[in-house]
Amino acid sequence: MSTLFDFGLASSLVALALYVGWARDEQSSIVGFIALGLLLSLGWTRLRSIDVALTEAAIGSGVTGLLLLRTQTSLRNDKPTGQEFGVLAKVSIGILCAGLSAAVAYVVLIPPDPAPTLAPQALGSIDVTGLGNPVTAVLMAYRAIDTLLEKVVLILALVGVWSLTSNSHWGGAPAVPAIGTPQPLVFLGRSLPPIGVLIAVYLLWVGADAPGGAFQGGAVLAAMWLLAMFSGLQPIPQTQSVNVRLLLVGGPVIFLVTGFLGVGCGAFLAYPDGFAKPLIIVIEVALILSIAVTLGMLVAGPAKRGPG
């Protein structure tokens, strides 16, 4: 029965991927993409990669799906510009995509034997962090510099989105599309956020010893914030807001300060003996707020109203 289920899941993933690529209607393609992300989360769960499954559901499907839907709504009334690709261009693009797919398949399906790995070195140092979740330990200790840079890249992406606004709107607030606010959305905006905040805090706290962490919790917080904003119960803040900007940079700044303090212990981002877990928890608490605000403002988009 388990094998039959896995076969059905894999077949559904392939079918959905083909549907997303071949769908002519943008909205149908986006909905298929969101469904594909949710099925991928289930696939990662079957592979016992719960942390990856949570991230895929929150970021790969949830936040990315919202961004695509918001973009499609904004472009709905725009007339297409430019010329259609010719047959030669389409064939060339298809050959290039097929070549890239074959190269990726070769790397994934035919790995070297034995496969190169640093897992033993990483696992050998996890005990000193005091963390029970090896994924969090690797992300916050063994490759902490990568995790820090990922948060910085998120902020740079948001700056890029904000830069798409006109000069007259710079520093103002994004605007929700004027499509009316249905009562079911208002009901969800009033009832779900308290539960979502509780789940986000749980994901943050349990991430030290079980699947979870700041990224997953921050995505849930962002979803609850967006739900409140899109239902009209919470105003979208202006991009020039000091509080918004402090929350955006607060997580990376605390991460950086902790890293420089670690220089006294021998290296950047080194944790003092016995203080690794408390410092990691402090960093993750700051990061969850920074991630939530960054993702929320990314989905909200560039400013459409001038500062007031």
The domains of the chain are located at 1-74, 117-308
Is 215:151 a contact under the CB 8 Å cutoff?
no
pLDDT the model gives residue 136: 87
**Predicted TM-score of the model (pTM):** 0.80
Which tokens is 109 given?
Answer: 């399906």
- pLDDT tens digits for range 258-306: 999 888 888 888 888 888 889 999 999 999 999 999 999 988 888 888 8
Is 288:248 a contact under the CB 8 Å cutoff?
no
If you average pLDDT over every residue of the chain, what do you get?
A: 85
State the Cα–Cα distance between residues 132 and 109, nearest whole angstrom: 31
Give the number of other Cβ atoms within 10 Å of residue 70's Cβ: 19
> Looking at the predicted structure, is the pLDDT value of residue 219 above 80?
yes
pLDDT the model gives residue 90: 83
> Looking at the predicted structure, is the pLDDT value of residue 224 above 80?
yes
What residue type is 208 in one-letter code? A
- pLDDT tens digits for range 116-141: 777 787 777 788 888 888 888 888 88
Using a pLDDT cut of 90, give the percent of the chain over it: 26
